[in-house]
């Protein structure tokens, strides 16, 4: 499996793109501004999109994707997410006010978009890749995502603060090879991080201390301009872990 980083920043500017990952050539994990780095043929190849939560930096590319490729596809793009997340997308995005409801275009019988609920405890298998939502803690309904292949598992935390349930879920994955986990703020902004339910270095260090598995750890969702300071604080807070900032354009392979 090829896991390509289209965008991994906590904001935009100076070439930064927000969260979106491409699994092989046909699956997106989140749909932030990172999808704008794909050309038309690459967009047309996307059959499935897994959404961790409804915040704009993770979904704003989705309606634009459908607008571009919908009429040129023979089957709808399938969006997988927690039922609560799909409810938000239906009420607040594909609502005919902010954007057309592509579940009804060109008709209900032949739509460009289909929602597929993926509740906690369920798994969606596509070829040799399986996708399982994991519990996290954020200000809106949200999940992490485990991607399992014959060569091992990769987990993306999505947006989250400390979650005992997430730590327990990670410890139950014996073949976990890669963990992509967010840290949005420096320790000085821990109050803002608590209110918005994101990680800061000291809180992620507590999370890592609870792990019995030992994956490679990649840090994502760093706030623009603060990346180096956050990473320095992380390495001080969790000296026993090799922590690496995820990079746009990077490819992680599970072969």
pTM to 2 decimal places = 0.98
What is the full per-residue pLDDT of the chain (255 aa) written as tens digits?
999 999 999 999 999 999 999 999 999 999 999 999 999 999 999 999 999 999 999 999 999 999 999 999 999 999 999 999 999 999 999 999 999 999 999 999 999 999 999 999 999 999 999 999 999 999 999 999 999 999 999 999 999 999 999 999 999 999 999 999 999 999 999 999 999 999 999 999 999 999 999 999 999 999 999 999 999 999 999 999 999 999 999 999 999
Residues 6+ apart with CB under 8 A from 187: 200, 201, 202, 233, 237
Pick the closest to residue 222 from 181, 178, 170 (CA basis).
181
Q: What are the CA-CA distances from residue 239 to residues 70, 74, 91, 208, 221 (Å)?
A: 48, 51, 44, 11, 20
Domains observed in the chain = 2-253 (3.60.15.10)
Residues 6+ apart with CB under 8 A from 152: 175, 176, 177, 178, 254
């Amino acid at each position: 499996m090829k896991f390509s980083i289209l965008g991994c920043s906590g904001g935009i500017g100076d070439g930064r793109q927000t969260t979106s990952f491409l699994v092989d050539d046909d699956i997106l994990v989140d749909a932030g501004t990172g999808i704008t780095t794909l050309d038309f043929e690459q967009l047309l190849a996307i059959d499935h999109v897994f959404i961790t939560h409804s915040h704009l930096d993770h979904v704003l590319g989705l309606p634009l994707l459908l607008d571009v490729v919908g009429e040129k596809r023979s089957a709808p793009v399938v969006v997988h997410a927690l039922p609560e997340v799909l409810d938000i997308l239906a009420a607040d995005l594909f609502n005919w006010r902010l954007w057309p409801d592509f579940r009804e275009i060109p008709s209900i019988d032949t739509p460009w978009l289909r929602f597929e609920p993926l509740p906690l405890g369920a798994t969606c298998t596509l070829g040799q890749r399986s996708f399982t939502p994991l519990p996290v803690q954020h200000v809106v309904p949200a999940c992490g995502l485990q991607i399992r292949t014959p060569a091992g598992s990769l987990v993306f935390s999505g947006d989250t603060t400390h979650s005992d349930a997430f730590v327990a879920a990670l410890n139950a994955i014996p073949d976990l090879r890669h963990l992509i986990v967010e840290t949005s703020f420096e320790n000085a902004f821990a109050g803002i991080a608590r209110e918005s339910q994101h990680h800061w270095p000291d809180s992620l260090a507590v999370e890592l201390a609870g792990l019995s598995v030992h994956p490679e750890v990649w840090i994502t969702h760093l706030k623009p301009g603060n990346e180096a300071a956050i990473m320095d604080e992380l390495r001080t807070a969790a000296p026993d872990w090799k922590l690496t900032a995820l990079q746009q354009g990077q490819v992680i392979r599970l072969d």
